[in-house]
Chains A and B, each alone.
Chain A
Amino acid sequence: MKKIKTLEELEQFRKEIQAQRDPKKTVISICAGTGCLALGSKKIAGAIKEEIQSQGLSLKVELSAIKETGCPGFCERGPIVVIYPEGTCYLGVTVEDVPEIVSKTIANNEIIERLVYKDPDTKERVVKDSEIPFYKKQQRYLLGKNNFIDSKSIEDYIRLGGYSALAKALSAMKPDEVIQEVIDADLRGRGGGGFPAGWKWHSTRNAEGDPKYVICNADEGDPGAFMDRALLEGNPHSVLEGMIIGAYAIGSRDGYIYVRNEYPLAVTNATLALDQAREFGLLGENILGSGFGFDIKIMRGGGAFVCGESSALFASLEGRSGEPRAKYIHATDKGLWDKPTSLNNVETWANVPLIINKGAKWYNGIGTEGSKGTKIFSLVGKISNTGLVEVPMGITLREIIYDIGGGVPGGKKFKAVQTGGPSGGCIPAKHLDTPVDFDELTKLGSMMGSGGMIVMDENNCMVDVANYFLKFLEEESCGKCTPCREGILQMRKILDLITSGEGKEEDLDTLEWMGQAIIDGSLCALGGSAPNPVITTMRYFRDEYEAHIRDKKCPAGVCKALIKFSIDPENCTGCHLCARICPVEAATGEKKEIHTIDDDICIKCRACYEVCKFDAIKIM
């Protein structure tokens, strides 16, 4: 491929590759995101290619039409194979299904009933991906392209209009106009802070100092969150295009993608995308003949959670250990190497081409008064449809959890949803009708964060949950400032005592007092938000704390020191399953006779509880 030197050449190239593909011809998308890869989607893709050859369908389906794409979001039901143009969506596909898929669906347009979505309530089958309830309420402007793009192909991205926003910005807009467009769109930072991206760019552009840097923060570290991973793995060029436009607007020549090393596929795909963009002349000197030059380097982080914090990220990029520093001077004035820097998160950058192409007016038509556009959430925990969802701001938590997520599985009762990552808050059922936007979630004591959404049901103990998040933050604290380093540890020790039945009445006041002082006193946002899970669970689930302290009971039946397993003789059928699964021989009994559990031996692993089919194991 030779360099694309002008806008006309880009459009010409786009027309050429679009002409190469007849839209009526079959395209097969196989999810090759991390989740589906782990479920063997690479083998499925290989099998499909072989099967198409051996069944003599090579003319009908070209090799380039068998795409290993990024994550389409419905991780719960992966590996996912979608056959276009019909949009036939097969879920939970295995290598064994491949010959049938090829011979029936690809050769003869026949639907394989067992592989399509079956509505758990109506039992109705849904063939098309867009009609599956999981997708229906979503607006997938960012993630939607994942289905159609081979994540290793720049041609696919260009075919779908990729880099047209860059072309528009470079040819028809002055840098200030680009910034104004992003300001008017009211794009707020998707990494957690929610700071208006356009104003950040404005400050960086007008700050004194040279060079100026643009950085993409791909140090996604919240437990259970994988939004940025899916974007960077599945559609890396959308992030690059956003960064190049941002750099043009700010007047930067140097960019960095700071990505955690635990995302090897994101590193691979982003590195490849950078090479392709350079080869095509979309990075480097004189981009598309505009005279503007810019390049991006990838820096891999070592996996410290705190390096997602801007000043710690700069320290890490500069080759020092990832410790934050006090931010009384903004990064837009003194960021990386004390130079003006715009640091935005992956999803924020991916929004930029959309805004430039469709305009600020279109963009801020989506969402609420204070939060515009869509937001990607990773919906995990006790939820039927685990996966990535992209929804317009302002949608309620209930719609996300029930209409899209399919509610809590196993007929269990919803208890809380944790938004905003480990330092977000737990929101109870009574607030499920809250519209999801930056300000509303903050009002509830939680936050938007980068978009983690962990659903919890009646079997989750909220004291245990708070303890879990504190433990995570205790391990991830950099240790620089006292309140965070020592305070989280001491809070966690108090929670340890409460969950082991040794809590005291005054512990609740101590936790509340410490929580506020840690928030006030910490140096960076990690410590400054670390007590949130404890504070919100105490606010909304105080009765659970009190039950642990006063009654020495764990109402959810989680905290090992406070629970006992026993067998209800009414229900026990003597099936012996509990005795067989028990790893320590605490559950015993003769077959067909009522079994018992010896509490002195029981290690409370829950195996018997999970395995009993007759609801005979009781947790007291």
Chain B
Amino acid sequence: MVTLTMDGRKIEAPEGATLLKAANSANIEIPQLCSNEELEHYGACRLCVVEITHKNRTRIVASCIYEVAEGLEVNTRSERVLNVRKLVIELLLARNPRHPSLLKIAEDLGVKKSRFEAEIKGCILCGQCIRTCREVVGVSAIGYEGRGINKRVATPFEESPPDCIACGSCHFVCPVDVIPMKEKDGVRNIWKTDFPLQKCESCGRYFAPVKQLEYFREQYNLPPEQFSKCTHCR
């Protein structure tokens, strides 16, 4: 365990923990949109910045990446920190002016509205969908296309993603709900592609995409009859 000061409070945190995690454990709230405990550190949204002082040097770091250190002084709400957060949320509101999670962060920061003209893109490029697909699901069906302001999340060559197993992880993990997924008549539609769902042998309910079940069987070397029934009937 290491001891550090956060907003004037002495707190303890396990070695290797990020400042964000240490703050959350100490009930200090830091807004963020791209960090996820299941994923590797990324540090892209920059909402979670904090000001640290270490050996007389003060600087702004991303708390979702920076690790705790003995004697570190952290200020999670300094003027510089709040300025960065206000700018970031205003910039993101220009991409997506309506999503409640962004509006909530803006409200907490005292931002009533973005001074920047909205150019609605929806996606805030937190990258959670892409990283979940790669790091958790393990298929990398989607990725980034372009760079800078033209960067966006896309399927390869803008076509039906050949590696997608329709698991929907990207849809569920998106903090601003811009990856649509629909189910109708035994078919799941995601990334503009139809994926048939598996019908439960016993109850007849559609319970998971056929491709996802195939992927699991392949991954774990399971017999073909595995997943013929839904979780209730199994």
Contact = CB atoms under 8 A, between A and B. Distances in A.
Interface of A: 304, 321, 325-326, 328, 474-483, 485-487, 489-490, 493, 510, 513-514, 516-518, 520-523
Nearest to B65: A326
B157 to A, nearest CB: 16
Given A481-B44, A521-B46, A513 B83 contact: yes
B49 A485 contact: no
A326 B43 contact: yes
Contacts of A493: 116-117
A523 to B, nearest CB: 6
B84 A521 contact: yes
Given A321-B144, A516-B83, A521-B60, A482 B66 contact: no
Interface string B190-234: 000000000000000000000000000000000000000000000
Q: Which of B91, B94, B125 has the most CB of A within 10 A?
A: B91
Given A486-B94, A486-B149, A518 B87 contact: yes
Given A490-B116, A521-B49, A477 B148 contact: yes
Contact of A304 (B67, B84, B116, B147): B147
B45 interface: yes
A480 B46 CA distance: 10
B60 to A, nearest CB: 4
B146 A483 contact: no
B147 A479 contact: yes
A479 B91 contact: no
Contacts of B49: 520-521
B91 A481 contact: no
Nearest to A473: B148
Interface of B: 41, 43-47, 49, 60-62, 65-67, 80, 83-84, 86-88, 91-92, 94-95, 115-117, 124-125, 127, 144, 146-151
B31 to A, nearest CB: 12
B84 A520 contact: yes
Contact of A517 (B67, B87, B117, B127): B87
B216 to A, nearest CB: 28
A156 B125 CA distance: 53
A423 B188 CA distance: 48
A573 B124 CA distance: 60
Contact of B45 (A477, A479, A482, A510): A482
Contact of A483 (B46, B61, B124): B46
17 contacts: A321-B147, A325-B43, A326-B43, A326-B65, A328-B66, A478-B147, A479-B144, A479-B148, A480-B44, A480-B127, A482-B92, A483-B84, A483-B87, A483-B91, A485-B125, A486-B91, A521-B88
Contacts of A520: 49, 60, 80, 83-84
Contact of B91 (A326, A328, A480, A482): A482
Given A479-B144, A479-B150, A480-B127, 5 more contacts: A321-B144, A477-B148, A481-B43, A485-B148, A514-B87
Contacts of B88: 482-483, 521
Contacts of B45: 481-482
Contacts of A521: 46, 49, 60, 84, 87-88
Contacts of B80: 516, 520
A316 B142 CA distance: 19
A517 B44 contact: no
B147 A477 contact: yes
B46 A522 contact: yes
A328 B47 CA distance: 17
Contacts of B116: 490, 493
Contacts of A510: 115
B67 to A, nearest CB: 7
B146 A523 contact: no
B43 A479 contact: no
B63 to A, nearest CB: 11
Nearest to B152: A479
A517 B46 CA distance: 11
Nearest to B84: A521
A481 B80 CA distance: 17
Given A487-B91, A490-B91, A520-B80, A476 B65 contact: no
Nearest to B61: A328
A216 B106 CA distance: 44
A492 to B, nearest CB: 10
A482 B149 contact: no
A481 B148 contact: no
Contacts of B151: 478-480, 485
Contact of B46 (A304, A475, A490, A523): A523
A585 B21 CA distance: 68
Lowest 5 A-B CB distances belong to which pairs?
A: A479-B151, A521-B84, A486-B91, A517-B87, A477-B148
B147 A482 contact: no
B22 to A, nearest CB: 15
B86 to A, nearest CB: 7
Nearest to A327: B65
B71 to A, nearest CB: 16
